[in-house]
Structure 1
Amino acid sequence: MTLRFGYKASSEQFGPNELLRFGVLAEQAGFDSVFLSDHFQPWMHEGGHAPATLPWLGALGAQTSRVLIGTSVLTPTFRYHPAVIAQEFATLGVMFPERVILGVGTGEALNEVTLGLAWPDPPERFQRLKESIGLIRALWRGERVTFDGTYYSVRDATVYDRPDREVPIYIGASGPAATRLAGRIADGYITTSGKDPALYTDTLLPALHDGLSKAGRGVDEVDTLMEVKVSYHPDRATALEKTRFWAPLALSPQQKRDVHDPLQMQQLAKQLPIEQVASRFIVSTDPDEHVEQIGRYIDLGFRHLVFHDPGFDQEEFLHTYGTEILPRLRAKYGQ
């Protein structure tokens, strides 16, 4: 089995210069990829950050030579016109050939509503995402493109600087409709760990395979990326406490779906006990047990695991993973 192990750079928790240093260290530590979320605002107001993703990816690409770099995820439907994203990622693809991934999703109110944008219901957001992917690919594949969609249009548009090999598009999803779409049209599928196991086995993976089947595609034609939330430390109390900054992740989708203010998100999260805060994370004190828990997602069929550590000492995390966890994973599952 060919596996890839990535690093999730926490743009909601660190400023751009710190993140850049961590991304470079991740390559040195043996990670295969570095992904960054695209947020206009963070989950937490106090101590939060939200550096612009696109210039940061360019800086990371220039300071590394091997790792894949990309978004997990960016919303190409509200803050950005899809044609602008087509141009931006084509440029990144020219500068860093075969190293760039465009991860996209339907978006969150936190990023869009604060800019005065109307926040439609999920069905419209889904249709916007589907249409935006079609427009991005049309611009990558054609010249003098005219596109008249329901939501987006261009007239006689050309992306002049394009890589020899098209940038792969991954769709991030936590529901069956977008997951099925990933199986039909995407180069990769992104989802996150720490949810009810039945969601993966009974809903998401069947939807992915249904999409693949409908498009006549094989399982190996779509990269399956799991963003794995991990908190490893020899002391359990420390491992639990590391997760506190990311308490909003433990809120239900209904609680946070329409929240656009980090202050409000922060207040909601403060009400959660630490055990609930940590519920989305693999919390471990033993490296072998840690690897065993991570292996559950490999057993489900995910081939690209991107690790998100919630702590503030990311250098310690990168060193620990590079010396203790990644070698164990590669020894056990192959590379």
Structure 2
Amino acid sequence: MTNFGYTLMTEQSGPRELVRYASAAEQAGFDFEVMSDHYSPWLTEQGHAPYAWSVLGAVAQATSRVGLMTYVTCPSMRYHPAVVAQKAATVQLLSEGRFTLGLGSGENLNEHVIGAGWPAVETRQEMLTEAIEIIRQLHTGELVTYRGQHFDVDSAWIWDLPEQPVEIGVAVAGERGIRHFAPLADHLVAVEPRADLVTTWNSVAGAPTIGEPARAVGQIPICWGPDEDAAVRTAHEQFRWFAGGWKVNADLPTPAGFAGATQFVRPEDVADSIPCGPDLDRIVDSVRAFWEAGFTDIALVQIGDDSQDAFLREAAGPLLEKLRAASR
């Protein structure tokens, strides 16, 4: 069975609104909720970037059923991995076992703010590997001292540790990353509906099999609204950065850089890649590519803060019915 999730977009909504949307999304029937973890929005038009972990604590208390997940946190620059281990354990306790720690190697947009530069992708992957090792060790409940190439930990101990371990999903984009990280992770995270990501993961020795017990968690932007033209305008204003792809987006440092990189992206270009307007069947057809590629969990991104209440009140329920019927 495919699970369908709702994305709490910290780049387009303030903290109090995100908590309210989280509660409404649970009531609308979503299976899980994912939250982005950014220091800055991609574009100034989005206008927000609250601290995701504070919001997650509030969301854990405002909801009772849905799974929760970071999508994704970089545990190697803004945050030391020992700190990520502590706060992941705390969110797991607050949510009573509903939390999954989604990790990735980061984006320049968020990580450059600490003034440590922006490493090459190979270095970032080495840092992520060490970070996962540290988090895993700290979550055993043992006293940890660690000496690595990129990180040191000195006599660290997680004092409030949940009985149910925090599972880890890792964002991957290609074969090299999958072969390296699949044996270290519990779940696959990706934003492209590519069947080769799932099949490659399942071919790696030591990797948990997608479907049982591992999940393949994808994400897709949509812009539902009663007026298709208005929805296209909103998607273009807020989400034209999406056209750049991960390799470009990971390296741009500021919203101004994203604005410059996307200045020639037209509304019709965005509409070609993001389903916009009131047609729920078109949204279903766009999401279909993920479950056909073998993804078990698919999170929807409803673009635009102003549209969230109407989407959750009017469209989410009927859309979930159509998605579940089509994915059986």
TM over 0.5: yes
Cα deviation 1:85-118 (Å, max 9, x = unaligned) = 1011111112222211111100010011132122
Q: Kindly provide the amino acid, as one letter, of the partner of residue 132 in structure 1.
A: A
Change (3 A) 1:254 1:99: closer
Matches for 1:21-100 after TM superposition, within 5 Å: 21-100=20-99
Q: Kindly provide the amino acid, as one letter, of the partner of residue 218 in structure 1.
A: T
Q: Kindly provide the amino acid, as one letter, of the partner of residue 239 in structure 1.
A: A
Q: Kindly provide the amino acid, as one letter, of the partner of residue 327 in structure 1.
A: E
Match of 1:215 among 206, 217, 224: 206
Q: Kindly provide the amino acid, as one letter, of the partner of residue 326 in structure 2.
A: K
Matches for 1:148-163 after TM superposition, within 5 Å: 148-163=147-162
Matches for 1:224-235 after TM superposition, within 5 Å: 224-233=216-225, 235=227
Deviation of 1:44 (Å) = 1.0
Q: Kindly provide the amino acid, as one letter, of the partner of residue 231 in structure 2.
A: A
**Percent identical:** 33
Matches for 1:300-311 after TM superposition, within 5 Å: 300-311=293-304
Q: Kindly provide the amino acid, as one letter, of the partner of residue 320 in structure 2.
A: L
Deviation of 1:218 (Å) = 2.9
Deviation of 1:234 (Å) = 5.1
Do residues 332 (structure 1) and 323 (structure 2) align?
no
Q: Does the 8 Å contact 1:183/1:210 carry over to 2?
A: no
Q: Does the 8 Å contact 2:275/2:282 carry over to 1?
A: no
Deviation of 1:235 (Å) = 4.0
The TM-score, its normalising length taken from structure 2, stands at 0.92
Q: Does the 8 Å contact 1:182/1:208 carry over to 2?
A: no
Match of 1:201 among 173, 176, 195: 195
What residue number does 1:124 align with?
A: 123
My pick for the range that moved more, 296-305 or 76-85, is: 296-305
Deviation of 1:162 (Å) = 0.5
What residue number does 1:298 align with?
A: 291
SS in 2 for 1:141: coil
Change (3 A) 1:40 1:291: same
For residues 209 and 12 of structure 1, the distance between their equivalents in structure 2, rounded to whole angstroms, comes to: 33
What residue number does 1:271 align with?
A: 264
The TM-score, its normalising length taken from structure 1, stands at 0.90
Change (3 A) 1:279 1:10: farther
Do residues 313 (structure 1) and 307 (structure 2) align?
yes
Cα deviation 1:135-171 (Å, max 9, x = unaligned) = 1010011422121111112122211111001011111
What residue number does 1:147 align with?
A: 146
What residue number does 1:251 align with?
A: 244
For residues 163 and 127 of structure 2, the distance between their equivalents in structure 1, rounded to whole angstroms, comes to: 27
Alpha-carbon RMSD: 1.9
For residues 244 and 272 of structure 2, the distance between their equivalents in structure 1, rounded to whole angstroms, comes to: 10
For residues 46 and 229 of structure 1, the distance between their equivalents in structure 2, rounded to whole angstroms, comes to: 17
For residues 165 and 9 of structure 1, the distance between their equivalents in structure 2, rounded to whole angstroms, comes to: 24
Change (3 A) 1:321 1:166: farther
For residues 69 and 22 of structure 1, the distance between their equivalents in structure 2, rounded to whole angstroms, comes to: 13
What residue number does 2:231 align with?
A: 239
Deviation of 1:284 (Å) = 5.8
For residues 101 and 252 of structure 1, the distance between their equivalents in structure 2, rounded to whole angstroms, comes to: 25
Q: Kindly provide the amino acid, as one letter, of the partner of residue 207 in structure 1.
A: T
What residue number does 1:191 align with?
A: 190
Structure 2 gap ranges (5+):
none
Match of 1:281 among 274, 285, 301: 274
Q: Kindly provide the amino acid, as one letter, of the partner of residue 215 in structure 1.
A: G
Q: Does the 8 Å contact 2:217/2:299 carry over to 1?
A: yes
For residues 272 and 50 of structure 2, the distance between their equivalents in structure 1, rounded to whole angstroms, comes to: 27
Number of aligned positions between the proteins: 325
My pick for the range that moved more, 8-17 or 175-184, is: 175-184
Cα deviation 1:13-67 (Å, max 9, x = unaligned) = 1111111111111111111111111111110124421100111000011111111
What residue number does 1:177 align with?
A: 176
SS in 1 for 2:110: helix
Q: Kindly provide the amino acid, as one letter, of the partner of residue 221 in structure 1.
A: P
For residues 85 and 113 of structure 2, the distance between their equivalents in structure 1, rounded to whole angstroms, comes to: 24
What residue number does 2:135 align with?
A: 136
Q: Does the 8 Å contact 1:89/1:102 carry over to 2?
A: yes
